[in-house]
Structure 1
Amino acid sequence: MAAALDQPVAILGSGVAGLITAHTLIEDGFRNVTILTKDKSPGGVWAEERVYPGLTINNVYGEYRFSSLAMPPPKNSSIGRLSGQDMSSYMRTFAETFLKGHIQYAVEVKNVRRPKSDEDGDGKTGWLVDVESLVSGKTESLYFSRIVMCTGGCHVPFIPDSLSPLTAHDIGFKGRVFHSSQFRSELDLLQSNGQDVTSLGHVVIVGGGKSAQDIASYLASKGTRVTVVFEKADAVLASPIPLPGFIRRSRFLSILAGHEHLDTRLERFLHTTKLGAKITHFIWNTITRISYHTLRIHKNSPLRNAHSLFWDIRTNDEGIMRPGSFHDLVNKGKIEVIAPARAKSLGDDGISVVLEDGRFLLADTLVLATGYISSWNIFDKETSEELGFDRQSLSAAGPDSRWRWDYTTLAKPPAAHSSSQTGQGGFTLIYRGMVPAKNILNHDFAINGAVFTTNNGYSLEVMSHWISSYFLRDPHLQLPKTVEEALESSKRNAAWMQQRHPGASSWINPSYSSNLAFWPWPQAMDDLLRDMGLKTGRSGGNWLTWPFKVIKIEEISTLREERLSRR
């Protein structure tokens, strides 16, 4: 194992997952760890060059930090959330503190493949990563014994062909067209030309998610006319006063959400009995009503055309009502909302956007907040097939009778929402959301950042320890003994995700959907701690208080020492 610790390890991506994974591997003794990123600074979506004014984190303060570095409070405490600048600063400080000399910036990964016998490496072991320098244009192939893919799900924009900048150019559209991920660069361009955002004219934003709302709020606050068009808005979580920690930062919501297995009597009561189901749905419906009331979303508002807090995973945690927020500006008439509606194409007149119902919207600028496609597009066909990155439909996961959860809370699912966006249908079979099931026995490839949770800091740190144990072949780490066993477990999880979140596979991209542990992330992390033979339920409490004990990042600050003692 000592020799293995000297072998080169690549981390693809310098976002939150990449930074904590690199740190954990280095702490565990891996001496040759390199992060490869096309960005100019660390942080991924929070990289300095990507952060735009008005961008706020969609989490409660403290949910996006690591145990090894304290997080300063928000600079603007009035909004109750960290800004994009706050997050960028934290990620930069983390990288400078723990990862100096381990990050190669401005290099784009073009391909990942197994080496052939005449290339670097030993036969078919290890990996070759083809990279291109974005500074010099030079290309080279780098050899690594192990890879952790941390490219995330917000890396490659999804741009509908009918609304793309190329189509706009071809038909003579007179305004600007760009994806929401390019908003910062567009602002920089305006500033360099001596202009401000009012020069964008009437801005039409396509999409109802967090980025659409943040961009709309920023533009409207600067006096720009803004119209937002969407089919369904994200669900919202809000309250008249900040939710106390024993509600928002405990296991309370996770228990009400339900998990693939129900470990306690309380969970079994809530999800498998009629009375429990009534209580569960009553609480979720009450939270929704309180959220709408807090944000003053009236009954006829198009913002009521939103996803479900219980059934869906698209949720914005708004906290309290804030002056200048998206909902505040909509209520004041400073942001126009058209929903449910779908933008179909650009008009032949060169000045409009055509909706699916035939309506025309005059637009000087079109912002596409249309989401992202998978970032797992860096493999040739042979490598992709070897790893098992093909999407599996539910039918491929086996007969329904084999994997069916008779939870009373799941008895009446909503109709699956169709989407024209990013999904390909089905799920990729990734064991525990971290290792391609077909590659489970090789211990040389892992993924961090593809498990969808509401507490990224805690979850990504636990997963980084699981990955390190996997690479180290820790004897106490519980793993499938065969590829078939890993595939079976992954198919079962795919069936669970399909039943728990109907239709999610039709729109969500695989690079952050290998496991959907949105609200029940504490149970999912306990599963991983159990795999490593470590203590679960770390927030403590007795039979009455345990659902309300605040979960703190400090609970996992000793995972390395605990794993080392087991080893």
Structure 2
Amino acid sequence: MAVPSDPPVDLVVVGAGWHGLAVAKTYTEVSPTANVLILDTAQSIGGVWAKERLYPGLKTNNLVGSYEFGDFPMTPERFGLTPGQHIPGAVVHQYLNAFADEFGLTSKLRFQTRVETAELQDNGDWVLNLSSVSSSLSSSSSSPTSTPSVLRTKKLVVATGLTSEPYMPEFPGRSSFNGRLLHSINLKERSKDIEASREVVVLGANKSAWDTCFSAATAGAHVTMVIRPGGGGPSWVWPVTFTPFHLSIQRLATTRFCSLFDPCIWAQEGNDNRIFNWTRWMLHKTWLGQKLVGIFWGWLGSIICKANAYDTHPELAKLKPWSSTFWMGNSLGVHNYDSNWFDLVRKGRISVQIADVSFLSEKSVHLSNDQVLDADTFVCCTGWKTTPPIKFLPESIVPDLGIPCMIPAGQQQKESDLQSIHARVLQEAPMLRRGPVRTLHPSAAAVPAPVPIPNARVNNDHDKPNIQSKDHWVQARQARSRSSYQLYRFLVPSDPRFLHHRNIAFIGTHLAINAVTVAQAQALWITAFFTSPSPSLSLSRLDPARVDYDTLLHNEYCRLRHPHAGGGAGDRCPDLCFDGLMYTDLLIHDLGLNVLRKGRWWKDLFCRYQPADYCGLTREWMEKAL
């Protein structure tokens, strides 16, 4: 083992996005004398909002006031914003720089630094091997440019999130393709190439795909969006506001009344209010209640279908989501464009194909429905690798960390345990038994049937999966252990060794509509876990068996609640939509703090929870716990 070349530190945070900054700020507030270091491979602060990743037209789905830290408001006057505005990417980057300056984090940042390996020591410390990396985003992973250095730390927080390393498919014929081939991570540095193109093919139907289509089409190109029939289908793209009450999807998802219609199984753990819990029981465990839940989600779906007028044009019909809003995850988007995206479809500037990419040739993209698309530029909006970009050593600890990996046969969960967990989820959330019903556009009938998708029912003949055996869910659960996170409270390994040392956490390994609120709560929970003064997080209260059970239970719920078949990512990570507020409640309840923060019952029930509602949360906890 190499000898550390840098002085030892108390905490290393890997990642300088929202979550990394949140945990660094919270930890230093609680432990002001601690030596904290923040490492990031990027050239600048922000993670996905780093300056070098801000492609033209990038804006938040959130409006002003809902995308900020509670202790540091994004005041419109200071940042040149107007109320009700979607926040430009450049302003988010500016805000995060100002946040780092305000709370003394700037001096703790070290950019263009990669953590190659993290080796666990006998005393619980970590020894990190670091390397400097190039500044180019043109490849999926930057290569080292200098001699590696070694750093020792007592505690490690991995805050690289889910969007640090792009996933780029391999296509037959790629070497013969003469057009421009890029991933959505390269949209900033390749924006001029896209603007100069005449024919652009975009693979994917998530928000970055919609942004790419809009940018290319408004620059004069003809764009073809290719949607894989075996994927989750087109994203739900919501109007900024809807109904005479000017509601928004973010407002609904962060209002406690609307969260009652989500069958979240940890809701009662995070809220001791008997009225809330009785109402949840009535809605999700009675025939009448389930009918009301169905009406709520059906109402939401009807709003968006009417607003986007899918049935008024043959190409728009291909963009109609394939399953109910009940199952949607954070692949959803908001129509935050300067002009009507759907008008570009009506005018023929954007076309839609539902097919797989078969192969590439010199100037074309060949699809599985026998269509051949001319392509000056081929943009893959194909998502990200979920595995942390750090090699953990010794390799024997990797299965115990709760990160995506291959699980040795002897360490997989017993079938009886899986059956018990699965049954408990369905007992608590009976509506998850059905799984999403997928209704594909008729044009997909010409496409060869994809691999069957677990937990999906379909409304067309060509896409019917085989009848699943009684053990299918067990197989899916075992497969999930290889491809998804398994963390207690979605934050820390459940293995007793790491519960004892309290030396590692993973923050931001989820998707959430209320992203910043979740980041604040997670940062404080991790800080309390590391510093150990909270009675509810003390070693005497964290029973390893209960921790392991809750970890399996909550992650199995996520898999069933937002499955791939419904457009969710629950098979890879927690995908928190209307259950995001209740997850925040769960963490705050663990800390012994009040989850109902509005001061009046009617405000707690009907008013939206914003980051400002959690202003002073760290100080509140310190006064109670320290």
TM range (shorter): 0.7 to 0.9
Q: Distance in 2 between matches of 1:374 and 1:334?
A: 34
State the match for 1:3 in structure 2.
none
User: Residue 315 of structure 1: CA displacement?
Assistant: 4.1
Residues 179 and 375, structure 2, Cα contact 8 Å, conserved in 1: yes
State the match for 1:24 in structure 2.
26
Among 471, 489, 506, the alignment partner of 2:550 is 489
Among 172, 177, 180, the alignment partner of 1:176 is 180
State the match for 1:278 in structure 2.
291
Residues 255 and 267, structure 1, Cα contact 8 Å, conserved in 2: yes
Among 486, 489, 512, the alignment partner of 1:429 is 486
Query: 2:311 aligns to what SS in structure 1?
Result: coil
Amino acid at match of 1:537: L
Query: 2:152 aligns to what SS in structure 1?
Result: strand
1:471-508 deviations in Å (ceiling 9; x for gaps): 00114233663433322211111221233223479984
Amino acid at match of 1:134: V
State the match for 1:550 in structure 2.
608
Among 307, 311, 314, the alignment partner of 1:298 is 311
Distance 1:247-1:79 versus aligned 2 partners, 3 A rule: closer
Question: Which moved further from structure 2: 325-334 or 463-472?
Answer: 325-334
1:56-105 deviations in Å (ceiling 9; x for gaps): 21234333210121114485769941121221121121122221211001
1:252-285 deviations in Å (ceiling 9; x for gaps): 3322222114532222222112222112121211
Query: 1:200 aligns to what SS in structure 2?
Result: coil
**Alignment RMSD (CA, Å):** 3.0
State the match for 1:118 in structure 2.
none
Among 127, 147, 152, the alignment partner of 1:143 is 152
Residues 434 and 447, structure 1, Cα contact 8 Å, conserved in 2: yes
State the match for 1:468 in structure 2.
527
Question: Which moved further from structure 2: 355-364 or 200-209?
Answer: 355-364
Among 332, 335, 342, the alignment partner of 2:350 is 335
In the TM superposition, 1:210-289 aligns within 5 A as 210-231=207-228, 232-238=233-239, 239-240=241-242, 242-243=246-247, 247=252, 249-263=254-268, 264-289=277-302
Amino acid at match of 2:346: N
Question: Which moved further from structure 2: 437-446 or 55-64?
Answer: 55-64
Amino acid at match of 1:494: N
State the match for 1:109 in structure 2.
115
Q: 2:461 matched to 1:445?
A: no
Query: 1:345 aligns to what SS in structure 2?
Result: strand
Q: 2:359 matched to 1:345?
A: yes
User: Residue 379 of structure 1: CA displacement?
Assistant: 2.0
What is the TM-score of this pair, normalised by structure 1? 0.86
Q: Distance in 1 between matches of 2:371 and 2:211?
A: 25
1:356-414 deviations in Å (ceiling 9; x for gaps): 22221111110000111124141242341342434678975521335433535334222
State the match for 1:405 in structure 2.
427
State the match for 1:119 in structure 2.
none
User: Residue 237 of structure 1: CA displacement?
Assistant: 2.8
Distance 1:550-1:428 versus aligned 2 partners, 3 A rule: closer
Query: 1:82 aligns to what SS in structure 2?
Result: strand
Amino acid at match of 2:187: F
User: Residue 344 of structure 1: CA displacement?
Assistant: 2.6
Residues 65 and 457, structure 1, Cα contact 8 Å, conserved in 2: yes
Residues 323 and 436, structure 2, Cα contact 8 Å, conserved in 1: no
1:450-478 deviations in Å (ceiling 9; x for gaps): 13221111110011000000000114233
Q: Distance in 1 between matches of 2:406 and 2:543?
A: 21
User: Residue 330 of structure 1: CA displacement?
Assistant: 2.2
Distance 1:467-1:268 versus aligned 2 partners, 3 A rule: same
Amino acid at match of 1:100: T
State the match for 2:592 in structure 1.
533
Q: 2:196 matched to 1:199?
A: yes
State the match for 2:559 in structure 1.
498
Distance 1:14-1:545 versus aligned 2 partners, 3 A rule: closer
Q: Distance in 2 between matches of 1:90 and 1:395?
A: 48
State the match for 1:324 in structure 2.
339
Residues 80 and 319, structure 1, Cα contact 8 Å, conserved in 2: no
1:158-179 deviations in Å (ceiling 9; x for gaps): 111116xxx52x2x21101010
Query: 2:378 aligns to what SS in structure 1?
Result: strand
Amino acid at match of 2:21: L
Query: 2:114 aligns to what SS in structure 1?
Result: strand
Query: 1:304 aligns to what SS in structure 2?
Result: coil
What is the TM-score of this pair, normalised by structure 2? 0.79
Amino acid at match of 2:31: G
Residues 175 and 363, structure 1, Cα contact 8 Å, conserved in 2: yes
Identity %: 24
Query: 1:437 aligns to what SS in structure 2?
Result: coil
Q: Distance in 2 between matches of 1:355 and 1:395?
A: 42
Q: Distance in 1 between matches of 2:290 and 2:184?
A: 39
Residues 207 and 230, structure 1, Cα contact 8 Å, conserved in 2: yes
Query: 2:332 aligns to what SS in structure 1?
Result: strand
Q: Distance in 1 between matches of 2:225 and 2:82?
A: 28
Amino acid at match of 1:178: L
State the match for 1:208 in structure 2.
205
Query: 2:327 aligns to what SS in structure 1?
Result: coil
User: Residue 209 of structure 1: CA displacement?
Assistant: 0.4
Among 38, 43, 57, the alignment partner of 1:40 is 43
Could you list the runs of 5+ residues in structure 2 that have no partner in the other structure?
1-7, 135-144, 269-276, 440-449, 454-475
Among 357, 360, 365, the alignment partner of 2:377 is 365
Amino acid at match of 1:201: R
Residues 59 and 455, structure 1, Cα contact 8 Å, conserved in 2: no
Residues 64 and 83, structure 2, Cα contact 8 Å, conserved in 1: no
User: Residue 425 of structure 1: CA displacement?
Assistant: 3.2
Q: Distance in 2 between matches of 1:126 and 1:50?
A: 33
Question: Which moved further from structure 2: 390-399 or 227-236?
Answer: 390-399
Residues 234 and 306, structure 1, Cα contact 8 Å, conserved in 2: no
Question: Which moved further from structure 2: 500-509 or 487-496?
Answer: 500-509
